Structure 1
Amino acid sequence: MVDVWLDVESQKFDSVMLPIIFQGLVIPVYMGGTSDLKVLEENLEKLKEIMEVYEERLSKSKYLAGDFISLADISHFPMVHLLHETPYASVLDAYPHVKAWIAGVMDRPTVKKVIGLMKTFG
């Protein structure tokens, strides 16, 4: 299951998160530009569809690959961390199992340490 969720992340999750982060954080905050709202809206809708799949999975287990944390979970945190620096993080509010999963991953001491070391684009 780990490899399945790594594939989902690389093929589905990251492909919609990158434009959201670029349009919602990089362009307006770090480049001083104007976001393309059409690109944002399209990708936020796609993210909602993807989050439905994650919500379904996480309603059955604490983590993506089962009841143990794995690379499949940890590999999501850079994008999720950056999403939380945009005005669009509230899109996740409709998915309580996803929010609990994110909180559980982000609350791990090693993840907190890495986040403390991470520098955003500024």
Structure 2
Amino acid sequence: MAHEYGKKGEELIYWDAKEQAIVANWIDVEDHWFEPPAMKLILEMVIKPKNGLAPDQGVVAEAEAKLGHVLDVYETQLSKFKYLASDKYTIVDVIHLPNLQSLMGMPAKELIESRPRVRAWCSEILARPAWAKVLEMKHKAQAYAAS
């Protein structure tokens, strides 16, 4: 995706092996540490209630604790760089967008908002024009499906 859609001057990946290794490391962090508790929270707090089921508060508490630890690491990393992998917006930031969007619409957003650097990073990447376009397309698709 990054190779295909990155723009000249705004590449989402690096060609330098060391810089790309850093990006790959943060992709792994998102995949193995951020996404699992984020998805548990989304399942418990969004999907289950939409299907008439009550959230399991024990699962919610455990997922919030795990996500909080990850966000503490992010807060430290974001004290060094504007974005997670560097001072450049990369694919690492892109892959966080769907889960961040969901988390910001639920009580778990306090986990993000209570960490100033994470809050600023999240606000900035969620406000990017390309993400707004994705959300617009999603809303149009949902409206079409509902009609």
Of stretches 65-74 and 82-91 in structure 1, the one that deviates more from structure 2 is 82-91
- Matched residues in 2 for 1:19 and 1:95: separation? 21
C-alpha deviation, 1:118, in angstroms:
2.6
Which residue in the other structure is 1:18 paired with?
39
**Which one has more relative contact order, counting CA pairs under 8 Å at least 6 apart?**
1
Return the index of the structure with the highest Cα Rg: 2
1:3 pairs with 2:24: yes
- Matched residues in 2 for 1:64 and 1:87: separation? 24
- Matched residues in 2 for 1:117 and 1:23: separation? 26
Letter in 1 for 2:127: D
Across the aligned residues of Structure 1 and Structure 2, the Cα RMSD in angstroms comes to: 1.5
C-alpha deviation, 1:117, in angstroms:
2.1
The percentage of aligned residue pairs carrying the same residue is: 32
C-alpha deviation, 1:71, in angstroms:
0.2
* TM value normalised by structure 2: 0.77
Of stretches 88-97 and 5-14 in structure 1, the one that deviates more from structure 2 is 88-97
C-alpha deviation, 1:101, in angstroms:
0.5
CA offset digits 1:77-112 (Å, max 9, x no partner): 000111122222112122110011111111111011
Which residue in the other structure is 2:66 paired with?
46
Structure 2 runs not aligned, ≥5 long: 1-21
